[in-house]
Chain A
Amino acid sequence: MTRVFAAALALLLAAPAAPMAETAAQTVATGDLGLVIERATGSVLLVDQSDRAALARIGGLGDLSHASLVYSPDERFAYVFGRDGGLTKVDIVTRQIAARVMQAGNSIGGAISDDGKLVAVSNYEPGGVHIFDADTLEMVADIPTGSKTIGLVDAPGRRFVFSLWDAGETWIADLSGEVPQITKIPGIGKNPYDALITANGRTYIAGLFGEDGLTALDLWDDTPTPIRVLPGYGRGERQLPVYKMPHLEGWALTGRDFVLPAVGHHQVLWIDAATLTESGRTDTHGQPVFAMARPDGRQVWVNFAHPLNDTVQVIDTVTKQVIHQFKPGPAVLHMEFTPRGHQVWISVRDAGKVMIYDTRSFEKIGEIDADSPSGIFFTARAHRTGL
């Protein structure tokens, strides 16, 4: 069956793109593939989880420092959000750029709607959100905010939620009707720097840089109002310099808690998911950047800001204790678990490697050469709200 299909596909592709036909046929199944951002060279590396190997490099994506991407529901297309405002649609079956637009001057991530039809990009300059047809990359909505816009996520019901760094507001854009409906929620707090949405699409949490604390919104509420979470969590403690903003994307929900990086404190914070109250703190090696839960929620892996970014700590979520610490190499930028959590892939920028570890034995089981790797994105994200 597969061979017949592959042969048919090869025939189909033979006329317009003969050299690609064979490769395309070999990569029809994309469920265990992923892309690694190569930030300095403007390329993405197509990787195979099962083979722990790089399959192809796709270039021409512009400035990919701080780039991220989302996948189409069929796991064939990746929408890559570049720092320079470029939005690139990459076809991982043909290993080619399918479409590309320069949509702003300076961007910071994006999201895809629950139905896979719309791709939204949040921009610093000019501040706001642009929404595109996922098929053609034609712009279908322009939502200027007058502020650097961060923490853009998808929410169920063809909605996007994002926050305004300068204005301290969260906006909900509902694209389910003919005309986008915008709900503005003020009073989120000073300088929200990133946000997350829970996998069920109910709770949106914005982290604040300008004050200690976070703000949650219950999106099941008809008129969501800001809920302060851990207000003044570092009160009385000296605020430490933050050399890299933490990330809340890749949120971590363990058995019953969220785990989030503190800002200006070398800690991760535990928040009871039901009551949104503090349930613990764990001291860490440095300023956490990502606190990522293994998919089963039993472990949280944490990396750190410059100059302590050569180290990773693993925290057990039952005891909230650090159970393992190691140094993958210089400049650990990102971590991505396989969907069932048996492995973690770690990008080590200055080593030029993606390193692969077994999450139970902590043994290194492989590595892949990559050029200044940063974000790692497996296609299984296609089926997760908020990723």
Chain B
Amino acid sequence: MGDPRGHKVAPILGLACLGLGLLLLPDTARAADAPDPAPLKRLVHQDCGSCHGLTLKGGLGPDLRAPALAHYDPETLRTVILDGIPETAMPPWRPLLTEQEAAWIADYLLKEAPK
């Protein structure tokens, strides 16, 4: 699945807008096919960390360390990241992340996320 924000729009609106589109995209959204781990890790700890804590052990939002997420399969967790949880403070990240990036984050949280 392609990146809906850059690639579909650009051919229609021309090169000038492609440039603008790329400028407006967050760094993490450009390489949709092969997510770049460094900015995604940063996002997880700094931005998810706004609610879940820099070390992901929880805050206003719950603990995101691997043992606390053991009941999630990767698919479900990816969906939670993309669509959020209604009636809670968990927002949908779909406007900011591709499916591949969300899948990478789900995998990272389930397997690797450090203490």
Tell me the chain B residues, 33-83 only, with Cβ under 8 Å from chain A.
46-47, 49-51, 53-55, 57-60
Query: B89 an interface residue at 8 Å Cβ cutoff?
Result: yes
| Chain B residues closer than 8 Å to A241, beta-carbon distance | 84, 91-93, 95
In the complex, how many residue pairs between chain A and chain B have their CB atoms under 8 Å apart? 61
State how many angstroms separate the Cβ of B2 from the closest Cβ of chain A: 21
**Can you pick out 9 interface pairs between chain A and chain B where the beta carbons lie within 8 Å of each other?**
A63-B54, A106-B59, A124-B58, A150-B60, A241-B92, A244-B51, A245-B50, A245-B89, A331-B46
Residues of B within 8 A of A (CB): 26, 46-47, 49-51, 53-55, 57-60, 84, 87, 89, 91-93, 95-96
A63 to B115, CA, bound (A): 12
CA distance A150 to B51 in the complex (A): 13
Chain A residues bordering chain B, tally (CB within 8 A): 27
Type the 1/0 row for A270-310, where 1 means its CB is closer than 8 Å to any CB of B: 00000000000000000000000000000000000011000
CA distance A65 to B95 in the complex (A): 25
A108 at the interface (CB under 8 A from B): yes
Residues of A within 8 A of B91 (CB): 241-243
Hey, which chain A residues are within 8 Å of B26, CB to CB?
307
User: How long is the Cα–Cα vector from A191 to B51 in the complex, in angstroms?
Assistant: 14
Q: Report the separation of the CA atoms of residues A148 and B26 in the bound assembly, to the nearest whole angstrom.
A: 33
Q: Which of B50, B53, B87: most chain A Cβ within 10 A?
A: B50
Q: Looking at chain A's contact residues, is the secondary structure mostly helix, strand, loop, or mixed? A: loop
Cβ–Cβ contact B53 & A65, under 8 A: yes
Interface of A with B (CB < 8 Å)?
39-40, 63, 65-66, 83-84, 106, 108, 124-125, 148, 150, 165, 191, 193, 209-210, 241-245, 306-307, 331, 349
B59 lies within 8 A of A306 (CB): no
Q: A359 CA to B1 CA in the complex, in Å?
A: 47
Known: A241-B84, A241-B95, A306-B47. A40 touches B54 (CB 8 A): yes
CA distance A63 to B84 in the complex (A): 27
Query: Are A243 and B53 CB-contacts (below 8 A) given A108-B59, A148-B60?
Result: no
A15 to B52, CA, bound (A): 46
Q: A63-B55, A108-B59, A241-B91 are in contact. List 17 more A-B contacts (CB 8 A).
A: A65-B53, A65-B54, A66-B53, A83-B54, A84-B55, A106-B53, A106-B59, A150-B60, A193-B60, A241-B84, A241-B93, A242-B89, A243-B91, A243-B93, A306-B96, A307-B26, A331-B46
CB-nearest residue of chain B to A191: B89
Q: A63-B55, A193-B60 are in contact. Are A244 and B96 (CB under 8 A)?
A: no
Evaluate contact between B58 and A106: CB separation under 8 angstroms: yes
CB closest residue in chain A, given B50: A244
Complex CA–CA separation, A63 to B55 (angstroms): 8
CB neighbours (8 Å) of A124 from chain B are 58-60
Which residues of chain B come closer than 8 Å to A210, judged between CB atoms?
A: 87
List B contacts of A193 (CB < 8 A).
60, 89
Determine the distance from Cα of A108 to Cα of B91 in the docked complex, in whole angstroms.
Answer: 21
